[in-house]
């Protein structure tokens, strides 16, 4: 086979130095280091790009694409920096409310997957994780899974969440002893989580959410308590006596 030489084709017709082109060979297939028939080593391709009308069109298009790419990357970095600044300037409680609480509520909702809204018994409507003792009433125990159960949005937003019904339902589903335990959570010493702790909790919670999401199953009341025990221990936020309910 004749050696390929640097000779422009297509848009680059009429250009080229005529010297043999460089190539690399793999499995008997030669790949020439050329574009539009013009060699790169001999610089004919570059010369053509910067000296011909057709070449310059390609060049300016490539420059534009590269510029846009750089801009896009810069915007992305700016956004990330801004987000990080926002996170850094957040109070721990704001961070908890924004990034941690939604995950913990989701864990409770996934544990209770397929079960009805606790206070109302409704299966319909969008479900959330709703606190028994509200976040406003006790900030300390707001991440304790024994204080959060599946609750419909409608019920959760109705006058602080159907309190009496919530209590009665917990007794009906899980028994009086468990309700005593839940209400006893209120005697946990006051804790104030710092940002680094919250970040750690968030990372753990994210993994747990992904894991639960992959293995959604309808659990019995006993299993729902056991799962709460297990994940509470994994999250490791509260004092031992408040982590697990023995059944």
| Binding-site ranges for Zn ion (CB under 5 A) | 6, 17, 39, 42, 44
| Shortest distance, position 52 Cβ to Zn ion, whole Å | 14
| Shortest distance, position 6 Cβ to Zn ion, whole Å | 3
| Shortest distance, position 17 Cβ to Zn ion, whole Å | 3
Among residues 37 and 119, whose Cβ is nearest to Zn ion?
A: 37
| Shortest distance, position 13 Cβ to Zn ion, whole Å | 14
- d(CA 50, CA 74) in angstroms, rounded, equals 28
- d(CA 116, CA 17) in angstroms, rounded, equals 79
Token output for 101: 């609480």
Among residues 6 and 243, whose Cβ is nearest to Zn ion?
A: 6
> What phi, psi does 212 have (nearest 5°)?
-65, -40
Taking residue 234's Cβ as centre, other Cβ atoms within 10 Å add up to: 14
Among residues 44 and 107, whose Cβ is nearest to Zn ion?
A: 44
- d(CA 169, CA 117) in angstroms, rounded, equals 10
Among residues 48 and 132, whose Cβ is nearest to Zn ion?
A: 48
Among residues 35 and 224, whose Cβ is nearest to Zn ion?
A: 35
Taking residue 59's Cβ as centre, other Cβ atoms within 10 Å add up to: 15
What pairs with residue 20 in β-bridges?
5
| Shortest distance, position 38 Cβ to Zn ion, whole Å | 6
What pairs with residue 129 in β-bridges?
150
């Amino acid at each position: 086979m004749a050696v390929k030489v640097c000779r422009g084709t297509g848009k680059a017709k009429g250009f080229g130095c005529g010297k043999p082109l460089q190539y690399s060979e793999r499995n008997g297939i030669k790949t020439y280091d050329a574009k539009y028939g013009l060699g790169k080593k001999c610089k004919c391709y570059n010369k053509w790009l910067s000296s011909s009308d057709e070449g310059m069109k390609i060049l300016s298009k490539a420059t534009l694409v590269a510029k846009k790419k750089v801009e896009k990357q810069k915007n992305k970095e700016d956004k990330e920096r801004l987000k990080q600044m926002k996170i850094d300037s957040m109070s721990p409680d704001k961070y908890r409310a924004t990034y941690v609480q939604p995950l913990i509520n989701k864990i409770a909702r996934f544990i209770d997957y397929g079960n009805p809204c606790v206070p109302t018994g409704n299966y319909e409507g969008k479900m959330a994780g709703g606190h028994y003792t509200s976040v406003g009433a006790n900030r300390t125990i707001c991440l304790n899974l024994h204080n959060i159960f599946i609750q419909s949005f409608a019920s959760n937003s109705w006058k602080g969440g159907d309190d009496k019904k919530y209590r009665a339902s917990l007794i009906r589903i899980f028994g009086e002893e468990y309700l005593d335990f839940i209400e006893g959570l209120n005697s946990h010493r006051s804790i104030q989580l710092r940002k680094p702790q919250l970040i750690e909790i968030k990372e753990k919670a994210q993994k747990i959410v992904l894991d639960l999401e992959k293995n959604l199953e309808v659990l019995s009341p006993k299993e729902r308590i056991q799962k709460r025990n297990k994940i509470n221990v994994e999250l490791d936020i509260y004092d031992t006596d408040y982590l697990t309910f023995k059944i």
